[in-house]
Amino acid sequence: MAANHNPHGPLSQLTGYHLRRASSVFAADFARAMEGTGLRQVLLGILAVVSANPGINQGSVGRLLGIKRANMVSLINELIDAGLVDREVDASDRRAFTLKVSRRGGAALKDALVRIELHEQQLLAGFTADESRILLDLLGRIERHEPAVD
Amino acid sequence: MAANHNPHGPLSQLTGYHLRRASSVFAADFARAMEGTGLRQVLLGILAVVSANPGINQGSVGRLLGIKRANMVSLINELIDAGLVDREVDASDRRAFTLKVSRRGGAALKDALVRIELHEQQLLAGFTADESRILLDLLGRIERHEPAVD
DNA sequence: TATTGTTATACTCTATAACTATA
DNA sequence: TATAGTTATAGAGTATAACAATA
């Protein structure tokens, strides 16, 4: 029997390689699912975190998502300019801003989550509920090795 | 009992989000593990594929790795300039180049794989052999949804 | 002194379009 | 006509350093 050639060589057994490829598949399909909304993965992430933590400041959002302070600035500005997030000076710490999802942002988030639900269902179509749960668990255990940002 | 606050909101249940974060953890640790070698994730991928397929041309490498032709050019040039890959005109198709890992490239790949082995062991330290296998399987099933590049 | 947000900047990855030379 | 490789270019994500205002 001929040994089946493995075109990816050592990559085929590397978790890091497959994480990279699978993540890229998700990213590409996410973009397709969001077409027309103007929302990208990072922006959706911020919107979701602000929505779950009304009044949070942008440094904290960055820490939760692994985004550096310096890079948060223009991202938040995009959301403000799009009218999805409201920003106010924090009365108790005048260096900081408090962020809230606007009415329009809430609707955009709701719509996005519907699209994402569909997009995830498609990419995980062959997965049992158990397999999906297991995947989330294993990924979560990897994420715990993340060094703090900033 | 107080409902435990979930700071990531809807993200916490999204496979795409956790893939992104876990992949980023791996990428950052990969960079740390490769410090001083000059090899990045993409370059290691190319080196591994060329090594597994001596004489392959760069278009085929790109197709295997999901890298566009246009972006392959400078990546291959980096590997050539670093002396890790040799390039020759393909005698049977003078449009194409054939690629081979050089002696030095072979040594670099071998060293890189040792570092990567350690890096993966660290990030998957809490994983049983079964769990690692399952993760690779689940990721592979997601990858199959990748649209062809180019 | 430390922290919040900001600006400026640079590198990498990825994407498209238009070109050449060969097939 | 199609394919292999190239060039030019642009968008997006991410990284560092230095600064002002406030704590």
State the CATH number of the domain containing residue A69. 1.10.10.10
In a domain, B107, yes or no: yes
Token pair 């876990």: residue:
B22
In a domain, A81, yes or no: yes
User: The dihedral of CA B62, B103, A15, A64: what is its sign?
Assistant: negative
In a domain, B100, yes or no: yes
In a domain, B22, yes or no: no
Q: What is the pLDDT of residues B108-148, one digit of tens each?
A: 999 999 999 999 999 999 999 999 999 999 999 999 999 98
> Which residues, at least 6 apart from A75, have a Cβ–Cβ distance to it below 8 Å?
A42, A43, A46, A67
Cβ of A136 under 8 Å from any chain B Cβ? yes
**How far: A89 CA to C1 C1' (Å)?**
23
Strands B97-101 and B85-89: antiparallel
In a domain, A71, yes or no: yes
Neighbours of B109 (CB within 10 A): 20
Q: What is the pLDDT of residues A80-99, one digit of tens each?
A: 999 999 999 999 999 999 99
Measured between CA atoms, how close is A48 to chain B, in angstroms?
6
Residue B128: give the domain boundaries: 34-143
At residue B49, the 3 state secondary structure works out as: helix
In a domain, A128, yes or no: yes
Residue of B nearest to A8 (CA): B49
If we measure between CA atoms, which residue out of A145, A24, A138 comes closest to residue B134? Answer: A138
pLDDT at A3 over 60: no
Q: Average pLDDT for residues B84-102, to the nearest whole number?
A: 97
In angstroms, the CA A17 to CA A125 distance is: 22
- Both tokens of B112, joined, read 């890189």
Q: Average pLDDT for residues A110-130, to the nearest whole number?
A: 97
In a domain, B10, yes or no: no
In a domain, B12, yes or no: no
pLDDT band for position A5 (cuts 50, 70, 90)? confident
pLDDT at site A1 = 56
Interchain proximity A52–B14, CB inside 8 Å: no
Cβ of A147 under 8 Å from any chain B Cβ? yes
B134 CB and strand D closer than 7 A? no
E strand spans, chain A: 85-89, 97-101
Q: What is the pLDDT of residues A46-85, one digit of tens each?
A: 999 999 999 999 999 999 999 999 999 999 999 999 999 9
If we measure between CA atoms, which residue out of B18, B50, B53, B40 comes closest to residue B116? Answer: B40
In Å, what is the CA distance from A42 to each residue of A47, A49, B9?
Answer: 9, 11, 14
Report the mean per-residue pLDDT for chain A: 96
Cβ of B59 under 8 Å from any chain A Cβ? no
Structurally, chain B folds into a number of domains equal to 1
